[in-house]
Amino acid sequence: MKTKLYVLYGGKSVEHEVSLKTAVTVLHSIDESRFDAYPVYITRDGLWCTPGQLSKVGLTVERLIAQPELRDPARSIGEILSGMMALPGPKVVLPLLHGSNGEDGTVQGLLELLNVPYVGNGVLSSALTLDKAMSKQVLAQAGIRQTEFMACRFEEWRSDKTAILSEVENRIGYPCYVKPASLGSSIGISRCTNQVELLTGIGEAFSYDKKLVIEREVDGREIQVAVLGNERPLASLPGEFIHDHVFFDYETKYMDKRLAMSIPAKLADGLTSRVRELAILAYQAHGCEGLARVDFFLDGDGEWFLNEINALPGFTNFSMYPVMWERTDGTSYSELIEKLIGHAVARHEAKQTIRYAR
């Protein structure tokens, strides 16, 4: 019997479109001799629905978008769970939900309650990695170097803007980056070189989240490492996007056709092995399982600064994460999906040995 693979995509998130692009690529690449794919679309309002089983032939983003029959999120989720996801036989869930309400532990918690295997990180690691402020505390505890930073909640900002501006200018300095604490894909992030830009950037970040992080800029290269596995994770060769942008924002990441990948990144002796070690250390410090991409800065003195860890990195066939694995050990895109499914099943089976009664 083939395994039923429930692919969740879309989501109540500003990264909705990124998720759709990921889902198209994944559905094109699934081995239909081993898996029956069941697409589950989550609207921007959090409604769950399905376009039904789809053929790979002519599959597009537009065909993935379904029209929900139910307008209540709880009822729509119940309909999917009691119908499609209650079908008999082996099953695995593949969440392709970037950002809030999907990559932050919320959907993972639901899947834990359903006791089904699912690809990617669990509740705690998903929540930690998406919340940049909490992640930085974990990294500090693990002794991993980061740039100078501070976190700020909306109520703190509203209560004493003068004190926070003073702290930023005296401790962080310019240029600095203002980031919503719990978003990815560089959405809502601003590079600030003076107080006017800082005020604008803080306002922008707070429109996406009620907590933000402000970081000192590191003048150096951006290097990424893909990590894969559960208890004994592996790190890929490091990769780098070659570009001439001062700030690698959303438009640059997804729309600049001039971007070029350098994999492996051209690094001095010893730096490659060190950054792979640091990537695994950060991965394990967050309790990650399945996959993550770990992003670093390398300054002119050869010092590594961990920027952030992404528990559900971009996953189209031209995204850095799968390409790094292909160039590290020859793993194809479809093989990578199967490895991730294998790690999900292994983790689920291990959990079944846990006792819940005395």
Q: Name the strand (E) or helix (H) holding 38.
A: strand 35-42
* Phi, psi torsion values for 37, nearest 5 degrees: -90, 135
| Half-sphere exposure for 248 (CA within 13 Å, toward CB) | 18
Q: Is 104 annotated as belonging to a binding site?
A: no
- Give the residue from 118, 122, 82, 114 showing the smallest Cα distance to 5: 118
Tokens of residue 139, six digits: 């990294």
CA angle 210/159/12 to nearest 5° reads 10
Residues acting as catalytic residues: 15, 185, 319
Cβ(38)–Cβ(54) under 8 Å?
A: no
CA 47 to CA 68: how far, in whole Å? 7
CA 44 to CA 17: how far, in whole Å? 10
Q: Is 299 annotated as belonging to a binding site?
A: no
Dmax (CA) for the chain in angstroms is 64
- CA torsion 143→230→20→326, rounded to 10°? 90
Q: Is 167 annotated as belonging to a binding site?
A: no
In angstroms, how far is CA 49 from the centroid of its own chain? Answer: 23
Annotated binding site for Mg(2+): 295, 308, 310
